[in-house]
Structure 1
Amino acid sequence: MYPKFKILIVDDEQDVAVVLEDFLRMEGYEVSSTTSPIEALEMIKQQKYHIVLSDIVMPKMDGIDFLTQVKQYDALTQVIMMTGYSTMDKTMRCLEAGANDYILKPFKNLAQLAEIVKISEDKLKRWWDNMRGNFA
C-alpha cells in the first residue's frame, strides 16, 4: 500500500552519515547519504526521497539554504534538521523554512532518531491516505 520509504542523509561529517545510514537501513529504510548539500540537491532531482536528514552547519551551503531548496523542489519531502550548535534563532529559522523536525547532535541514542523518522513516515502516510480519500 505504501512505498518503501527512501531517506537521504546529508552531513559533512562522513562518520555521522555512515552510522546513520547503517542504522536506518537496519530499520528497514532505503537509505543514501552524501557529505555535500550540492550533491544532495542533484540526487533529489534524480529520484524521490521521502525523508531527508540534514546537518545545518556545512561548507559550501548552509543547511537552512539547502532546506529551502528542497522544499521548493518538493514541499512534501519531510526534512529533519540536525545540529550540534543549536540556538533559538536557528531553530526558528529552520521551522520557518519548512523543517518538519529538529534534532540535536550528538544524539542521546539512535532510538530517539528512529522515533523522529517514524513520526515523519506516519505523517506522510496520513497525507497519502487523505489524498486518496479526496480522489476516490
Structure 2
Amino acid sequence: MEKKIYEIAIIDDEVEILQLIDKYLKRTQEYKITTFSNPKVALDSCIRTKYDLILLDIMMPGMDGLEFLEGIKKEIPSQKVCMMTAYSTLDKVLKSHKQGAENYIMKPFPSLDALGQKVRTLLEK
C-alpha cells in the first residue's frame, strides 16, 4: 500500500523559521512542503492549491495571520490551519480559534519533535 504524501504550506515572514520547519518536516518522505514569506502571495496560492495543513504565523507585516485565516476560511471552510506565534495573547488565540484555526503552537517551539507531533495529530484528525 502506498503511503499518503501530505501537502503542507508554511507561512511566516521569518525565513529562518521557514527553513527550520521545512528541513525538520522533510526528514520523512511523508510531507511535501511549500513555504511562503509573503502572506498575500500565500493566500492566492492556498486558495488555488488545497493543502492538507497550513502552518500560519500570526504576526506578519502586510497581512497578519488573522486576516489570512479569515480569507482562507471564506474560500475553503474545511481548510486545516495551525497558528504559530511568539506573542501568545489570549485575545489573538481566541480570535484565531473562533475564526476556525484547529490549534496553535508557541514560538520558539518547545522542541521540533513537539511541532512534528502536533502536525501529525492535526493531519490525522
Answer yes or no: is 1:73 the counterpart of 2:86. no
Q: Of the candidates 85, 94, 110, which is equivalent to residue 112 of structure 2?
A: 110
Aligned residues: 123
- C-alpha separation between the residues in 1 aligned to 2:77 and 2:25? 23
1:4 is displaced (CA, Å) by: 1.6
Answer yes or no: is 1:25 the counterpart of 2:26. yes
Show the counterpart of 2:41: 39
1:68 is displaced (CA, Å) by: 1.1
Higher share of residues assigned helix: 1
- Structure with bigger gyration radius: 1
Bigger mean CA deviation after superposition, 92-101 or 2-11: 2-11
- C-alpha separation between the residues in 2 aligned to 1:25 and 1:42? 24
Tell me, what secondary structure is at the counterpart of 2:8? strand
Quote the sequence identity (%).
35
1:3 is displaced (CA, Å) by: 4.1
- C-alpha separation between the residues in 2 aligned to 1:29 and 1:16? 17
* CA-atom RMSD in angstroms: 1.3
Bigger mean CA deviation after superposition, 2-11 or 81-90: 2-11
The letter of the residue matching 2:36 is T
The alignment's TM-score, normalised by the length of structure 1, stands at: 0.85
Answer yes or no: is 1:4 the counterpart of 2:5. yes
User: Could you list the runs of 5+ residues in structure 1 that have no partner in the other structure?
Assistant: 124-136
Answer yes or no: is 1:13 the counterpart of 2:10. no
Contact conserved, 2:9 with 2:34, CA < 8 A, in 1?
A: yes
